[in-house]
Chains A and B, each alone.
Chain A
């Protein structure tokens, strides 16, 4: 079922016959809006003078105005000027008896959308109204989209601010303790305060780097250097990098590969980000003495990378939430794990550069598998 959207059309003309004619012609007007299942219908209202039209528009502004130029009392141009001064969001179509250049110029200056020279046929009227209506709808959609974009941007910035304020507050707090010498008689406390401050600073640095990575990727400014690389090399490099942290917690990282080498045309830096993100998360959210399995498969047209951990896992709701920016699943198990909340956004962005996608499978308390497929082009 398509949804009906009613636009109000105001016909302003001092000839009653004209108003009746317009009403009759537009009675069964219906128009589909592109890319939606909405249908536009019209509600036609009338005014017999410019003065009356202004009173009506003050009450509730219509969407489209059919405006006769020459009326007793104020002219159509005067009404148009009033509409302009009051910034009404509508489309005006001027009806002119004599197609005079002066009227046309004056009306255009005042923002008339179209002209209908008298006499016109019902078909001509419908064409003009149809154009005005679709223009209006497109304009409003664009405005809505712009508003939405601004909102998303604002949200992004306020979440970012919040994510930076938390570590900032922690570090400031420790510095006050140091300054005031609270608890500092004990050298172990002093060391802990310094160590924790550095860890929180590291978290801030990571967030800023992730943010820069993401912005560069999104703006397309990060220069891509595609060369033939062995995907397994990148995998092994990342595994090597995460090994100290994994060892500390007794976590074993292993690699399963479908062939000896898996060559692909790719940007080394991008592959590195993909593996670093996947493997560091698999370690971070793992249980002590757990395992991380990195699988790289050569599937002729694409390379499939999946990393499975034996960690805390996520509920279906969490998995759904996970795909937003700055989303970090907050619960008692993740409380002490630091992260920027941007890793997955970055991952998806890179995957999209290879026409690929990121998918997640997870079971609470059993583990999670993140998969990324990268198309060979």
Chain B
């Protein structure tokens, strides 16, 4: 159990933020949530996230990508997990999280609804559990 690891949750859907907060807090993480890219950037001025869970499409369709990029640049150690509703219905598949994915700086991409076990699984694979 990772007590006090810092998690940043960014999603414009208040219910998703709520759920992530509940899941992470009951497992001993310290959570900060933000409803958009700008607010997230304000948060990490004073909060160094070790894990970031980011929705892909917020106010702008690419907010998630931009935010992931900025977080990785500012906190290279931070694990970025992108969550999205997009895969599936539009047939858009995002390339995986390996080096060949180029500018997509997420470590993992998950489809909503996200279950905590999935996040734990990704974190374990990425060596942070």
Q: Which residues of A are in contact with B by a Cβ distance under 8 Å?
A: 158, 161-162, 165-166, 168-170, 172-174, 176-177, 180, 182-183, 189, 192, 196, 200, 330-332, 335-336
Contact = CB atoms under 8 A, between A and B. Distances in A.
A170 B89 CA distance: 17
A372 B108 CA distance: 49
B36 interface: yes
Contacts of B126: none
A188 to B, nearest CB: 12
Nearest to B36: A332
Contacts of A169: 16, 85, 112-113
Contacts of A189: 22
Contact of A173 (B12, B25, B113): B113
A198 to B, nearest CB: 12
A170 B16 contact: yes
21 contacts: A158-B90, A162-B86, A165-B88, A165-B89, A169-B85, A170-B13, A170-B15, A173-B15, A174-B19, A176-B113, A182-B26, A183-B22, A183-B26, A189-B22, A192-B18, A330-B59, A332-B39, A332-B59, A335-B35, A335-B36, A336-B14
A173 B36 contact: no
Nearest to B60: A330
A166 B113 contact: no
A164 to B, nearest CB: 9
Given A165-B89, A331-B59, A173 B114 contact: yes
A182 B22 contact: yes
Given A162-B90, A165-B85, 7 more contacts: A166-B112, A168-B113, A177-B23, A196-B15, A196-B18, A335-B12, A335-B35
Given A158-B90, A331-B59, A172 B12 contact: no
Top 9 A-B pairs ranked by shortest CB distance?
A170-B15, A169-B112, A169-B113, A161-B89, A172-B113, A173-B19, A183-B22, A173-B113, A165-B85
Interface residues of B, number: 27
Give the one of B13, B25, B36 with max A CB within 10 A. B13
Contacts of B112: 165-166, 169, 173
Given A158-B89, A335-B36, A166 B26 contact: no
A60 to B, nearest CB: 33
B73 interface: no
Nearest to B12: A335
Contacts of A162: 85-86, 89-90
Contacts of B70: none
Nearest to A172: B113
A162 B87 CA distance: 10
B106 to A, nearest CB: 18
A180 to B, nearest CB: 8
A189 to B, nearest CB: 7
Contacts of A331: 59
A287 to B, nearest CB: 18
Contacts of A183: 22, 25-26
Interface in B69-114: 85-86, 88-90, 112-114
B36 A177 contact: no
Give the one of A166, A169, A174, A176 with max B CB within 10 A. A169
A318 to B, nearest CB: 12
Contacts of A170: 13, 15-16, 19, 113
A330 B12 contact: yes
A173 B117 CA distance: 12
B43 to A, nearest CB: 14
Contacts of A200: 15
B88 to A, nearest CB: 8
Contacts of B15: 170, 173-174, 196, 200
A335 B14 CA distance: 9
Contacts of B12: 330, 335
Nearest to A330: B59
A372 to B, nearest CB: 29
B22 A332 contact: no
Nearest to B58: A330
A173 B89 contact: no
A170 B20 CA distance: 11
A331 B63 CA distance: 12
A187 B86 CA distance: 34
A161 B59 CA distance: 19
Nearest to A199: B15
A152 to B, nearest CB: 15
B113 A177 contact: no
